[in-house]
Chains A and B, each alone.
Chain A
Amino acid sequence: MRKTLRFLIGNEPVEIEGCDPTLTVLDWLRLERRMTGSKEGCAEGDCGACTVVVGRLDHGRLRYEAINACIRFLPTLDGCQLLTVEHLKGGDGSLHPVQQAMVECHGSQCGFCTPGFVMSLLALRLNEAEPSIARIEDALAGNLCRCTGYEPIIAAGRRMDAISPREADPFLKQCETTAAKLATLQDGKTLALEGQGRRFYAPATVSALAELIAAHPQAALVAGATDVGLWVTKGMKQLDPVVYLGRIEGLRGVSDEGDHLRFGAMATLVDVRNALADLSPQLDELMRRFGGEQVRNAGTIGGNIANGSPIGDLPPALIALKATLVLAKSADGGEIERRTLPLESFFLDYRKQDRRPGEFVEAVSVPKLPSDALFNVSKVSKRFDEDISAVCGAFRLRRDANGFITETRLAYGGMAGIPKRAKAAEAALIGRPWDEEAVAAAIAALPQDFTPLDDMRASARYRLTVAGNLLRRFLIETTEQPARTRVAGLLAEAAHG
């Protein structure tokens, strides 16, 4: 056990003994460090005014990620580098190219969201050369601006590398030094902190995690904290103890196992996107639209599943893909006991999952699509980017040599208390050719599968209509050539040529 939290702020090492387990990075910066450049706009990870950049070692390589400081707990920065808007100016007071570009392009008006945009653009610059407009939009989807209408900020994103080449960026030039500094902060010990009478544990290995959960079955397991953060900032919950999974490199991995992909529970949504994109461009697009960039950087596949949201955005696609879940727990003799179950069986009822005491989500296994399988996924939301689905539909279908449907999965989010398959609609498809009649039969069966809710995202009637129309879209997209069927995002751009 180690009792000191260690990280870098800028290039300066910080050591903290005793820390409120759920003190947010933003409150620490603003209240304790008096670094007020990062702003609180919403305290729920939706507006990006608090965006900071975190550098962390990923299999020895330094990786920079924009995250929301308002819902990130300070102790989860152990072993990382924290960069804020205050770290950007040069020693001579000159503006960093990102800042200079924002000024030149008139990218700020009221200025309150500006530090967040600057940090999101910084992360983009550190990670990618010559980003396209679409990519800049993506990187900024988690940053709200109410004044400018975004045009000048996008222009700044296009301009920044022209002001000074990316290779000359001070943060990239220091990369190796920073990585070396961070390497000295890594150890195999469990970090154990206490503050405000509450406890925080960050184990470094799967077995230490299993033991901790066994010892504290009521512990709040924290992955990316993109939801748990809100339990604290909005629900004012006093979590104790908190067990953070982010230091366990073994849980971060994504691997190609031949016939399936294996995701460690702590694989971030960015990593998940990169792997799933190979299966289908629609999965790429689904993941592109998952939250904002800051949420995709912090959020994890395991967290998204274990959280058990009725919508979840990712589970419907994974269910359609026949994903299975690996749950692990500590067993006698220091062993790890594992069980595997189909993802759809994990979701029992609204916010209730089949997770037994002591268990945690260790990995997700996603079979690759057979070459003859048709696959389709759609997310429908009020706003196109950075919104939660009103309805998400993910479909997979196979036919025999005569063209009759032999196997299908129609999985939906937003239609019930859990992500769920439309079993009646699936049954209606079996044995039919894949055509309009089949779709009509499946649509007619949907009301047997779902009684959706009216809420602020959509009415029940709309949800049911769209759930059916997404099957129509599936048919058009898999049979007709080449009708344009999507209005926005990468798929629409691809269709435009």
Chain B
Amino acid sequence: MADARRKLDIAAEAGPVGGALAHDSAAKHVAGEAVYIDDIAAPDGLLHAYLGLSTVAHGRLLSLDLAAVRAAPGVVGVLTAADVPGVNDISSTHRQDEPLFATDRILFHGQPLFAVVAGTREQARHAATLAKAEYAEEAPLIDIAAARAAGGALVTDPLKLERGDIAAALAASPRRLKGSMAIGGQEHFYLESQVALAVPGEDEDMQVFVSTQHPSEVQHMVGAVLGAGSHAVTVEVRRMGGGFGGKETQANLFACVAALAARKLKRPVKLRPDRDDDMAITGKRHDFVCDYEVGFDEDGSIHAVDALYAARCGWNADLSGPVTDRALFHMDNCYFYPAVRARSEPLFTNTCSNTAFRGFGGPQGMVGAERFIEEVAFATGLDPLEVRKRNLYGGNSSTEGLGRDLTPYYQQVEDNIAGHVISELERRCDYQARRAAIREANAKSPVIKRGIALTPVKFGISFTATWFNQAGALVHVYKDGTVALNHGGTEMGQGLYIKVAQVVAQAFGLGLDAVKITATTTGKVPNTSATAASSGSDLNGMAALDACETIKRRLTEFAAKHWQERPEDIAFLPGRVRVGAREIAFRELIQAAYMARIQLSATGFYTTPKIHWDRKAGRGHPFYYFAYGAAAAEVAIDTLTGEYKVERVDILHDCGQSLNPAIDRGQIEGGFVQGMGWLTTEELVWDRKGRLWTRAPSTYKIPVASDRPRIFNVHLLENAPNREPTIHRSKAVGEPPLMLAISVLHALSDAVASVGDYRVCPRLDAPATPERVLDAVERVRAEAAS
């Protein structure tokens, strides 16, 4: 990273970096010309696979009669576990707990038993319904309470973070309270459902086009299932129709089944589940129950927090370990707890295996933190915002020799700007005056009550699995001066491709039209990490820049020699290259370099510095830096029905020095609305048999256009370059804004509290559906009256 300073200097020049440029595919999106997996022109001889699913949630598979499936019109093949030449397992954590096809134990409703392959998708889908399976059915464990009642089996090792003597600190606290909060899960509802297309080649070769955030993992899984080396498998994805974490591991199943069928039948095979099946099979955001005890004083200062975060993980571990870990990493949000103990409880249940989802457990951890604050606020009669401010990291006091900047995992918060962001937003949105006005208006409004809340976000950036914090890129400069860019990151709508292209264009002093963004493929950049943890542009931007710098170094050496100038007098400027006193076109330089046999292609590589994490000890520096933000939400609720409307939202969010303010704004607004959906109308319901009841948009309600706040003031924090030398001092933005929506939950709670004259903590759980809001209204009224 010797070049770090020089790289950062580039940001001072005019160029594509920092420009509010449109998404690279925008013109194709609007014309229907952007190609998704299901749009790829069908290869000759294409067949279609479909999955046969279990119809019980728990038990043993006694027999599976597939005769009718085989005999169905158009069917050319049926696959079960017996047809797997490699390993019948696709567990991303290598725990061997996720069979591709069930053989004996049935662990959730919708578990894949077999696949059928036919001439058309309709034929395969129909045939898949004709299987006759016999089960010895057992009672399923559907939720956290049931899992605990049955002994609380875990899918993975729990984590404990502990700092200070929690028992003593609680005992010494002037006041303490206990509570419990339910935090619902969330379906990703990527608009493009899971889909994979496998095309067999010669030898053991398999080309897989799949909608995935993690091509390298798909490559590895397909190789393992087929019993082939990774070198035989190429995985490619140009773009996804949304991912949000739902295609980090969940695409493996579809890719492996398509590849297995393609191998067996020696023909290309596509697998695209119906939306209902996708929702039934694939994992979702974990729902949690957070049990907590908080010690505090009359001034609203927190002395100690003891919290247990139990999660419904589903039928296998998948990413539940790191997800529940990240919940604990965010159970502090922006607040310093002098003494703290946090434990995770990743519970096994007979439901789909919950997985990554934007925020990756962090949001649930943070929702808990904000509940602790709210409890203290109601117990002390203070404005929750005041309690938030009093407990922020930093400040001048210290406790027991500890600085007020130490997290429960012993990382120092070095870049704390939460206080600044909060007070700045408080001022800009006129929080205090509006809060007073709302309280006055509520007193005169018998049915409709309004509420307001301002909540902050501090989100840790880096994969907590340290080795994932690496990235590679491949940059080719062609003889005509145009550039082909490839890196390990995937495009799911978040604008990663355009951001990295901006970095590359700027590095060479080119316009964006000179840089071709090419589909992510394991054949070009190997051993990549999932595009996840908000890390896409941090990692791949740096890797791509590294490749550019390598090429520029060669070009600089060449130019110095060729034109007899000193290397320091060579500069890549917008639209030209300065060589001593002369300026030449980039293309001219490239042509000369080519003739002089200079290599015009390079790989780039990047690893995040500073980070380490000792999970056993619960200590380390897992995050390179933190991203901050704050939101103030105002809502109106109907105390007769529980219906509500988010009327106004003000956001101030920290993107560091934004690579692309238009893209970042899109992430902030979109993340906020997605988070709002999670905490309000998006409710997952399973029936008693363990069948997911909300498995379609008709029953699972994500926000629509009219749900977004009509007044929506979104600002990027100004003059706030990342204190760490990230790519052009920008900050990751994929996940953090989702948690700005916690302000909506608290604004609803504030509105509910009005019916009890703000004396009773509403303890509003998530998702705050109209039903939950009405329940809270009735409970607060009853408690206030008693």
Q: Which of A447-497 contact B (CB under 8 A)?
A: 455-459, 462, 465-466, 469-470, 472-473, 476, 483-489, 492
Instruction: Identify which of residues 289-307 in chain A touch chain B, using a CB-to-CB cut-off of 8 Å.
Output: 292
- Identity of the chain B residue whose Cβ is nearest the Cβ of A388 in the assembled complex: B698
Central interface residue in A84, A236, A384, by most chain B CB within 10 Å: A384
- Say how far A103's CB is from chain B's closest CB, in angstroms: 5
Contact of B704 among A114, A141, A489 (CB under 8 A): A141
Q: How far is the CB of A248 from chain B (nearest CB, A)?
A: 29
CB distance from A310 to the nearest CB of B (A): 14
CB-contact partner of A137 in B33, B129, B670, B706, under 8 A: B706
Contact string, B427-452, partner A, CB cutoff 8 A, digits 1/0?
Answer: 00000000000000000011110000
In Å, the complex CA distance between A50 and B738 comes to 27
Are B710 and A133 neighbours in the complex by a CB distance under 8 Å? yes
CA distance A459 to B706 in the complex (A): 25
Q: State A388–B694 Cα separation when bound (angstroms).
A: 13
* Residues of the A chain whose Cβ atoms lie less than 8 Å from the Cβ of B672: 149
Is B480 located at the chain interface by the 8 A CB criterion?
A: no
Smallest CB separation, B222 vs chain A (Å): 24
Q: Can you name the residue of chain B whose Cβ is closest to the Cβ of A236?
A: B126
Per the bound structure, the CA–CA distance linking A472 and B641 in Å amounts to 10
Are A42 and B39 closer than 8 Å at their CB atoms? Answer: no
Knowing A110-B190, A488-B706, the reply to whether A462 touches B244 (Cβ < 8 A) is no
B32 touches A115 (CB 8 A): yes
A40, A149, A292, A476 interface centre (most CB from chain B within 10 Å): A149
B: number of interface residues (CB 8 Å): 89
Q: Does B538 interact with chain A (Cβ within 8 Å)?
A: no
Contact A47 B32 (CB under 8 A): no
Q: List the A side residues contacting B274 at CB < 8 Å.
A: 43, 233-234
Asked if A38 lies at the interface with its beta carbon under 8 angstroms from chain B, I say yes
> B659 at interface (Cβ–Cβ under 8 A)?
no
Main SS of the interface on chain B? Answer: loop
Q: Tell whether, in the assembled complex, residue B771 and residue A144 are in contact, meaning their CB atoms are under 8 Å apart.
A: no
**Contact in complex: A106, B32 (CB < 8 Å):** no
Q: Given A110-B240, A385-B706, 11 other A-B contacts at CB below 8 A? A: A39-B241, A46-B698, A106-B666, A110-B242, A111-B26, A382-B681, A382-B770, A466-B641, A469-B641, A484-B447, A485-B640
Complex contact B29–A153 (CB within 8 A) = no
Give Cα A233 to B121, complex, Å: 12
Q: Which residues of B contact A (CB under 8 A)?
A: 22-23, 25-36, 38-39, 41, 122, 125-126, 129, 188-193, 239-244, 274-276, 445-448, 492-495, 636-638, 640-645, 662-663, 665-666, 669-674, 681, 683, 685, 693-694, 696-699, 701-708, 710, 712, 714, 769-771, 774-775, 778
List the A side residues contacting B699 at CB < 8 Å. 456-457
Judge whether B701 and A106 touch: CB under 8 Å: no
* Cross-chain pairs A/B with CB under 8 angstroms, 30 sampled: A35-B32, A39-B192, A41-B275, A42-B697, A43-B274, A44-B275, A47-B191, A102-B30, A106-B665, A110-B190, A110-B241, A110-B243, A111-B25, A112-B190, A138-B706, A141-B704, A143-B705, A144-B191, A144-B702, A146-B189, A146-B674, A234-B274, A236-B122, A456-B693, A458-B771, A462-B642, A476-B446, A483-B445, A484-B448, A487-B638
Q: Which of A41, A138, A151, A380 contacts B192 (CB 8 A)?
A: A41
Contact A109 B493 (CB under 8 A): yes
If A42-B696, A44-B698, A384-B706 touch, whether A488 touches B242 (CB-CB below 8 Å) is: no
Determine the chain A residues whose CB is within 8 A of the CB of B23 once the complex forms.
Answer: 106, 108-109, 111
Determine if A36 and B192 form an interchain contact, defined as CB atoms under 8 angstroms apart.
no
- What interface size band does chain A fall in? 35 or more
Q: B34 contacts which chain A residues (CB < 8 A)?
A: 111
Assess the B643–A488 pair: CB atoms within 8 A: yes
Residue A446 CB within 8 A of the other chain = no
Q: Does A173 contact B (CB under 8 A)?
A: no
Q: In the docked arrangement, what's the CA distance between A154 and B707, Å?
A: 12
B704 proximity list for chain A (CB < 8 A): 137, 140-141, 143-144, 150, 292, 383, 385-386
Q: A112-B192, A473-B447 are in contact. Are A383 and B681 (CB under 8 A)?
A: yes
Contact call B673/A112, Cβ cutoff below 8 A: no
Q: Does A218 contact B (CB under 8 A)?
A: no
C-alpha gap A385/B769 in the complex (Å): 14
